[in-house]
């Protein structure tokens, strides 16, 4: 079963996506912890694409598709990126260095990578596709 929504690139739509993912997952009687972890991971990726990838340009859109197949939750987040933001080039931060210099932020994708079983980003020109996967059974 696949469900999809399209949102404009504004932070106001983060709640729309969180509700979409949560409502979709609740049908499968998962634990609250698992649902909340997945919602958090999706929220982080969507926020990054809205803010960094599309500069909160409400004329730009994200397509979000969720499905369950073979006891695995999968979600795709797709956009047409107008900036140089390239999530495919992400590298894990050095947390000790972040603490040493007092850097705030920049660890959201590390959290996503720890929550989800697989995280895939592909970028082709101005087109991004993020796929997140989590075994649920």
Residue 28 sits in a domain whose CATH number is 3.30.565.10
pTM of the model: 0.86
CA distance 53 to 95: 24
pLDDT per position in the chain (137 positions), as tens?
569 999 999 999 999 999 999 999 999 999 999 999 999 999 999 999 999 888 999 999 999 999 999 999 999 999 987 665 665 555 665 656 655 566 566 557 888 999 999 999 888 877 889 999 999 98
Tally the domains of the chain: 1
Residue 32 lies in domain: 2-135
CA distance 82 to 75: 22
């Amino acid at each position: 079963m696949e469900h999809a929504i399209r949102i404009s690139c504004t932070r106001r739509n983060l709640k729309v996506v969180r509700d979409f993912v949560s409502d979709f997952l609740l049908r499968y009687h998962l634990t609250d912890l698992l649902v909340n972890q997945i919602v958090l991971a999706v929220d982080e990726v969507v926020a990054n694409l809205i803010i960094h990838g599309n500069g909160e340009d409400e004329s730009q859109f994200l397509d979000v598709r969720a499905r369950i197949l073979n006891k695995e939750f999968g979600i795709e987040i797709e956009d047409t990126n107008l900036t140089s933001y390239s999530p495919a080039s992400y590298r894990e931060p050095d947390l000790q260095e972040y603490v040493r210099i007092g850097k705030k932020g920049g660890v959201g994708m590390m959290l996503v990578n720890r929550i989800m079983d697989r995280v895939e980003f592909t970028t082709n020109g101005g087109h991004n596709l993020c796929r997140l996967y989590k075994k649920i059974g």
